[in-house]
Chains A and B, each alone.
Chain A
Amino acid sequence: MKKTAKIAVIILAGLVWTAPASSQDKGGLVKKQNSLSSEYSLAKDSAFYFVLDILGRKLELRVRGMVLRSWPFQSMRFWGRPDLSGNVELVRKTALKAPERIVIKPGGDAEKVEPAPAPTGTNPAEFDLEALELKDMPKKFSLDFDNGLRILVKAKTGASGGLLGSIREGWRWYVDLPLRNLFGPHTGAGLSELELTFDNDKNAQSIYWHFFDEIKGIIL
Chain B
Amino acid sequence: MFMKRILIAAAALAYLGFLAVLGAAYLIGLKQAAAWPPAGAGRAIADKDLPKVEKNVRQLEKRMSGLLPKGLYIVIDTAENRLYVKNGKDIVRTAVVSCGSGVVLEESGGKQRKWVFDTPRGEFSVKSKISNPYWVKPDWAFIEEGESIPKGLEDRIEAGTLGDYALGFGQGYFIHGTLYTRLLGRNVTHGCVRVGDEDLKAIFKTVPMGAKIYIY
- Pair from one complex: yes
Chain A residues at the B interface, C-beta cutoff of 8 Å = 20-21, 23-34, 36-37, 39-40, 43-44, 46-48, 55, 61, 63-66, 68-69, 78-82, 85, 101-108, 112-115, 117-118, 124-125, 129-134, 175, 178-179, 181-182, 205-206, 209-210, 212
Evaluate whether A132 and B65 lie within 8 angstroms (CB atoms) in the complex, with A27-B43, A82-B32, A82-B35 already known.
no
- Which residues of chain A are near B29, meaning CB under 8 Å? 79-80, 178, 181
- Which residues of chain A are near B44, meaning CB under 8 Å? 23, 26-27, 30
- Which residues of chain B are near A46, meaning CB under 8 Å? 122-123
Separation in Å of the A187 CB from the closest CB of chain B?
A: 15
Q: Which residue of B lies closest to A36 (CB)?
A: B60
Q: Does B133 contact A (CB under 8 A)?
A: no
Closest 6 CB pairs of A and B: A132-B102, A31-B42, A178-B25, A28-B40, A131-B101, A27-B42
Interface string of B1-20 (1 = CB under 8 A from A): 00000000000000000000
Asked whether A37 lies within 8 Å of B21 as measured between CB atoms, the reply is: no
Chain B residues 46 to 95 lying within 8 A of chain A, measured CB to CB, are: 47, 50, 53-54, 56-57, 60-61, 63-65, 67-69, 75, 77-80
Q: List 5 A-B contacts (CB under 8 A).
A: A27-B45, A30-B45, A80-B32, A112-B146, A179-B25
Asked whether A129 lies within 8 Å of B187 as measured between CB atoms, the reply is: yes
Asked whether A44 lies within 8 Å of B186 as measured between CB atoms, the reply is: no
Q: Does B180 contact A (CB under 8 A)?
A: yes
Separation in Å of the B90 CB from the closest CB of chain A?
A: 12
A124 touches which of B104, B108, B123, B183 (Cβ 8 Å): B183
Q: How far is the CA of A133 from the CA of B103 in the complex (A)?
A: 10
Asked whether A44 lies within 8 Å of B67 as measured between CB atoms, the reply is: yes
- Which residues of chain B are near A26, meaning CB under 8 Å? 42, 44-45, 50, 53
Asked whether B47 lies within 8 Å of A20 as measured between CB atoms, the reply is: yes
Q: How far is the CA of A85 from the CA of B25 in the complex (A)?
A: 23
Q: Does B136 contact A (CB under 8 A)?
A: no
Asked whether B101 lies within 8 Å of A33 as measured between CB atoms, the reply is: no
Q: How far is the CA of A105 from the CA of B57 in the complex (A)?
A: 56
Separation in Å of the B109 CB from the closest CB of chain A?
A: 7
Separation in Å of the A76 CB from the closest CB of chain B?
A: 11
Asked whether A64 lies within 8 Å of B50 as measured between CB atoms, the reply is: no
A182 touches which of B24, B35, B188 (Cβ 8 Å): B24
- Which residues of chain A are near B42, meaning CB under 8 Å? 26-32, 34
Q: How far is the CA of A107 from the CA of B117 in the complex (A)?
A: 19
Q: How far is the CA of A69 from the CA of B182 in the complex (A)?
A: 26
Q: How far is the CA of A185 from the CA of B182 in the complex (A)?
A: 56
Q: How far is the CA of A19 from the CA of B186 in the complex (A)?
A: 57
Asked whether B53 lies within 8 Å of A30 as measured between CB atoms, the reply is: yes
Q: Which residue of A lies closest to B117 (CB)?
A: A113
Q: Does B173 contact A (CB under 8 A)?
A: no
Asked whether A118 lies within 8 Å of B182 as measured between CB atoms, the reply is: yes
- Which residues of chain A are near B184, meaning CB under 8 Å? 124
Separation in Å of the A212 CB from the closest CB of chain B?
A: 7
Evaluate whether A131 and B122 lie within 8 angstroms (CB atoms) in the complex, with A33-B53, A65-B65 already known.
no
Q: Which residue of B lies closest to A85 (CB)?
A: B37
Asked whether B185 lies within 8 Å of A125 as measured between CB atoms, the reply is: yes
Evaluate whether A103 and B104 lie within 8 angstroms (CB atoms) in the complex, with A29-B54, A113-B144 already known.
yes
Asked whether A78 lies within 8 Å of B33 as measured between CB atoms, the reply is: yes
Asked whether A104 lies within 8 Å of B40 as measured between CB atoms, the reply is: no
B28 touches which of A28, A64, A182, A209 (Cβ 8 Å): A182
Chain B residues 149 to 198 lying within 8 A of chain A, measured CB to CB, are: 180, 182-188, 190
Asked whether B32 lies within 8 Å of A48 as measured between CB atoms, the reply is: no
Asked whether A106 lies within 8 Å of B143 as measured between CB atoms, the reply is: yes
Separation in Å of the B8 CB from the closest CB of chain A?
A: 23
Asked whether B69 lies within 8 Å of A124 as measured between CB atoms, the reply is: no
Separation in Å of the A134 CB from the closest CB of chain B?
A: 5
Q: Which residue of B lies closest to A26 (CB)?
A: B45
Evaluate whether A105 and B103 lie within 8 angstroms (CB atoms) in the complex, with A21-B50, A34-B42 already known.
no
Asked whether B180 lies within 8 Å of A106 as measured between CB atoms, the reply is: no
Q: Does B105 contact A (CB under 8 A)?
A: yes
